[in-house]
């Protein structure tokens, strides 16, 4: 595995908003089938890494490649067909469209549309509540349900990598457990997952590896165990 | 009976207002831009049908679909050349862009065709008839029916097609829509094309009985703005409803007082709605 080209490779990424630099030479990678988390406090630049990867914010410097292809110059709407799905922070469902319409939009790109009905059967088997709620307006769902629909909408594109920004934000412990189980379930089906989270223990409980970010720089990287045992993590993030 | 006649006349005019308003609301809903030049696309379609009639003897009923197709491409071109440049700009810049377009199109029409009123006195739909004690004017009935059919087609396009679904997605959250693989730039262009084609159909149908001047489009677009506000900005069904209401209020107000005052009632109604439901009848807060 280590010799193969990673699914997502980010090298020396820099992002600047106006005269404020958010990311300083960030490098990371996600290999096929992995679950990887981006850790760090609010404002560390976790979301910006994802948004720069999908060209929602411009990349000032650095290189992002997906499945060996350089993503320079590829617009946001061209990425999902390449197998890169991105669930934005705060779910960002289409609130006045139904659950079913949201899912159909997830499989809108021509590549995914060819087998959209099979994808629908698949995500509805992973998340059966989608069937009962199919005609409900997405904006009227609870936070946890919205998060599940957002993940399902991402899966409709049949991605090889699903990036989820803050999947647990504002959810109750019971719902967090449900989302954790869903992430593990979709990962077992071969989908790599990259997600952001502030709670180190929670994130590392399902991640193979993690990256710890601080003020736009990667402070630390390693396997879940290495990170949990690291002195800085124990002191600053776990309070031990 | 007189009330019935006023109501029917009002609804027929209202259907045209509804069609004009739906196109306005479509663009606003998808990209938050108010197209002040909306009526000018209608005016262009009127002149197009007039000249085809006078120069080639083609009936407006035939030239209207051609005008719609042409105006679709004009709408896409206006989006690409002008609107795309102000998408990220401030609201003031966007207002100047479309209001400037209105001035440009009106001035060009004055320059090319003068301000003389042109009319098409005789066409396939000319004539009057009587039905159930009510009087009907052929061109107006056909224009109303055509507007209703176009409005239904527009509704079908937005709510029953894949492109319509993409349009709705971009309207709700353009960034999230891009992540679904939707090219929002293309969708914006389609919205302009469809909006201009719809208003062109209104213009073509009006050319059979309405005097054509460089200001003809603006006369219909201004009340249509009120219809959009009454229905709720961005709501297509709201714009349709608002158009019908405006048609009836304007006709009834003009009939029971004097035609000079007919706009007064429309704008008085607008003020009432703004105080009572600022987000419109079917709009979202």
Distance from CA of B177 to the nearest CA of A (A): 8
Q: Write the pLDDT tens digit of every residue in A165-185.
A: 999 999 999 999 999 999 999
Question: Mean pLDDT, to the nearest integer, of A6-28?
Answer: 96
| Confidence at residue A3, expressed as pLDDT on a 0 to 100 scale | 55
Quote the domain boundaries for residue B201: 2-213
List strand residue ranges (DSSP E) for B132-271, in order.
Answer: 134-137
Distance from CA of A79 to the nearest CA of B (A): 7
| Confidence at residue A218, expressed as pLDDT on a 0 to 100 scale | 96
CA A219/CA B224 separation, integer angstroms: 58
Which residues, in sequence order, are CB contacts of A221 under 8 Å at separation 6+?
Answer: A28, A209, A210, A211, A212, A227
A151 neighbourhood in chain B, CB within 8 Å: none
Give domain status of residue B99, yes or no.
yes
Distance from CA of A207 to the nearest CA of B (A): 24
Structure tokens, A69: 């292809």
ipTM of the complex: 0.95
Give domain status of residue B281, yes or no.
no
A105 neighbourhood in chain B, CB within 8 Å: 165-166, 169, 177, 180, 182
Average pLDDT, chain A: 94
Which residues, in sequence order, are CB contacts of B42 under 8 Å at separation 6+?
Answer: B20, B199, B200, B202, B203, B206, B216, B217, B220, B221
Q: How confident is the model at residue B234 (pLDDT cuts 50, 70, 90)?
A: confident
Q: Write the pLDDT tens digit of every residue in B22-43.
A: 999 999 999 999 999 999 999 9
Q: Write the pLDDT tens digit of every residue in B165-223.
A: 999 999 999 999 999 999 999 999 999 999 999 999 999 999 999 999 999 999 999 99
Domain total in chain B: 1
Give domain status of residue B232, yes or no.
no
Of the listed ranges A5-9, A149-153, A231-235, B204-208, the one predicted with least confidence: A231-235
| Subunit contact B169:A105, Cβ cutoff 8 A | yes
Helix (H) or strand (E) holding B43: helix B38-56
Q: Is the pLDDT of residue A1 over 90?
A: no
Give the percent of chain B with pLDDT over 90: 90
Q: Which B-chain residues 116-175 have CB contacts (< 8 A) with chain A?
A: 162, 165-166, 168-169, 172-173, 175
Give domain status of residue B73, yes or no.
yes
Q: Is the pLDDT of residue A2 over 50?
A: no
Give domain status of residue B276, yes or no.
no
| Confidence at residue A236, expressed as pLDDT on a 0 to 100 scale | 80
Helix (H) or strand (E) holding A203: helix A200-204
CB A146 within 8 Å of CB A87: no
Q: Write the pLDDT tens digit of every residue in A74-118.
A: 999 999 999 999 999 999 999 999 999 999 999 999 989 999 999
* B177 and chain A in contact, CB less than 8 A: yes
Residue listed under structure tokens 């409980």: A205
| pTM, two decimal places | 0.93
CA A40/CA B227 separation, integer angstroms: 50
Q: What is the pairing mode between strands A35-39 and A192-197?
A: parallel
Give domain status of residue B225, yes or no.
no
Give domain status of residue B229, yes or no.
no
- C-alpha atoms less than 13 angstroms from C-alpha of A86 in its C-beta half-sphere: 28
Give Cα A8 distance to the centre of its chain. 12
Give domain status of residue B198, yes or no.
yes
């Amino acid at each position: 595995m280590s010799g193969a080209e990673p699914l997502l490779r980010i090298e020396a990424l820099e992002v600047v908003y106006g005269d404020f630099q958010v990311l300083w030479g960030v490098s990371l990678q996600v290999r096929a089938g992995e679950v990887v988390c981006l850790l760090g406090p609010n404002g560390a630049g976790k979301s910006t890494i994802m948004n720069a990867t999908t060209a929602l914010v411009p990349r000032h410097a650095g290189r992002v490649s997906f499945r060996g292809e350089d993503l320079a110059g590829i617009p946001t709407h061209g990425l999902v067909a390449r197998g890169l799905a991105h669930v934005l922070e705060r779910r960002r469902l289409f609130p006045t469209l139904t659950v079913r319409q949201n899912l159909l939009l997830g499989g809108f790109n021509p590549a995914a549309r060819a087998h959209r009905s099979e994808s629908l059967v698949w995500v509805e088997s992973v998340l059966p509540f989608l069937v009962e709620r199919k005609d409900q307006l997405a904006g009227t769902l609870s936070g946890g349900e919205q998060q599940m629909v957002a993940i399902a909408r991402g899966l409709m594109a049949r991605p090889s990598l699903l990036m989820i920004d803050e999947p647990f934000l504002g959810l109750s412990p019971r719902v967090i457990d449900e989302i954790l189980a869903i992430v593990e379930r979709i990962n077992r089906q071969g989908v790599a997952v990259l997600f952001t989270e502030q709670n180190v223990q929670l994130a590392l409980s399902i991640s193979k590896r993690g990256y710890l970010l601080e003020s736009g720089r990667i402070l630390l990287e390693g396997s879940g165990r290495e990170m949990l045992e690291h002195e800085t993590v124990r002191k600053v993030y776990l309070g031990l | 009976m007189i009330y019935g006649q006023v109501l029917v006349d009002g609804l027929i005019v209202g259907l045209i207002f509804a069609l004009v308003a739906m196109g306005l609301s479509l663009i606003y809903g998808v990209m938050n831009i108010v197209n002040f030049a909306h009526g000018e696309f209608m005016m262009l379609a009127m002149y197009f049908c007039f000249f085809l009639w006078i120069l080639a003897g083609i009936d407006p009923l035939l030239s209207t679909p051609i005008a719609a197709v042409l105006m679709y491409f004009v709408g896409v071109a206006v989006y690409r050349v002008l609107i795309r440049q102000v998408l990220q700009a401030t609201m003031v810049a966007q207002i100047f862009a479309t209001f400037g377009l209105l001035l440009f199109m009106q001035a060009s029409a004055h320059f090319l065709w003068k301000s003389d009123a042109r009319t098409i006195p005789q066409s396939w739909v000319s004539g009057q008839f009587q039905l159930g004690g009510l009087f009907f004017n052929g061109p107006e009935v056909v224009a109303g029916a055509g507007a209703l059919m176009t409005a239904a087609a527009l509704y079908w396009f937005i709510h029953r097609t894949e492109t319509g679904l993409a349009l709705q997605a971009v309207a709700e959250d353009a960034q999230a829509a891009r992540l679904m693989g939707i090219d929002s730039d293309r969708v914006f262009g389609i919205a302009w094309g469809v909006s201009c084609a719809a208003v062109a159909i209104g213009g073509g149908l009006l050319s059979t009985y309405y005097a054509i001047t460089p200001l003809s489009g603006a006369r219909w677009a201004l009340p249509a703005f009120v219809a959009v506000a009454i229905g709720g900005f961005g709501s297509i069904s709201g714009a349709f409803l608002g158009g019908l209401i405006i048609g009836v209020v304007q006709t009834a107000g003009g009939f029971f007082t004097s035609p000079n005052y007919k706009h007064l009632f429309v704008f008085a109604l607008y003020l009432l709605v703004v105080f009572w439901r600022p987000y419109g009848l079917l709009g979202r807060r």
